[in-house]
Chains A and B, each alone.
Chain A
Amino acid sequence: MSASRLPGADARPVVAFSFDGQRIEARAGDTVAMALWAAGQPALRASSRDGAPRGVLCNMGICYECLVVVDGDTVRGCMQVVRDGMDVRRGGKS
């Protein structure tokens, strides 16, 4: 999957966060899930028992498939807006 952004000038400031130690650049107003999708990282969590990769399913806070750990708290990646310097880790089974 090689995702990107819609064309046109983006007036939003760049926001950088870390995903499992990797630097990800996002735009202000992005959610963690969308920033990671745009960065080519759709797998956000390891499923609870099998540890299989899972990513956004509903993108509106219903399915809990995009759970990530942000600064120690388990949150839905599709609802969590990015902040500069945020520490994001893959959620689920480790």
Chain B
Amino acid sequence: MKKQLQLFLREHLFYKIAYSNVANQFEYFRIGIALFSIFSFLSFWLDYDLLLVPDGIINWEVTNASAYWFEPHLLKVSEIIGLAPMTTLYLVSFLYLASLVLLALGLHTRLAAIVALLLFLTLSVNLSPFLYGVDLYQNVFLLFLCVFPSGYACSIRPLPITKAIQNSQQIGIRTIQLYLGLTYLSAGLGKAKMASWHNGEFLFLSISDPNYELFSFPDTLPAIFYASIGILVVTLELFYLLLVFLPYIRSFLVISIVGMHLFIVLFMGLVPFGVLLALVNIIAWYPLLKKDYSTLHQSIISKFPRLLATNYS
């Protein structure tokens, strides 16, 4: 029993750095964040005449006036470098996209990440009235790419990876996993205080909010459905960091969390938010999903060899 417990702890304890940590995982994170950042920024360009240009619905004068003197608003940048505001926007956009492409390709990744983060912060000063939770996450993930090494594999110019680099990447993956867990805990604590999350009322009302809607969700479902989903969401968020210890349950957790974010994309219209969180959850925990799947597969094969042999033949 004691030996089994020791084995279980060695195999599953969260603090063990190799837990849900495999080769190239941090590189996948780098590519995912770079591609997401490109997608997110290009989505602003879909409505550039309203969201991005100096005389859009929020005039640059407004965001410049509300920025601190040391915040690099594009209006100030254009005055300093002596270019027209629109030319400055094109220039900064080009440099931002170029740094993200370099990051995705794995070239000069730390420099590219630092440039991308600084330009993201610059653009954020201009776009501040339009920013919400997803931009907060994106900022933090770009910061992680500035700190942890990410350009050694999955690159068009791979570099030899040392033990020290591997360790740093493992710390990076663990930081992402814990950061995700903390943010879910924060969201779960807030929801747990609200009775309207336990009886499903808040979920029903937020799905009914016409401001947050991509596709309509059927409004004929019974109240018990919303209550069940509301309680499930609060439970998953509150106990995310505990449930991810437990074999098989952790797969249910990750699939449910990814499902929750896809629901947010489809029925609450928070497209970049849902896409980013689903993506990062998959990258952070896919080794556990693979492990649970292969264990389950092996146990089925060992218990029902004849059945599988019949099926395969």
Partners in one complex: no
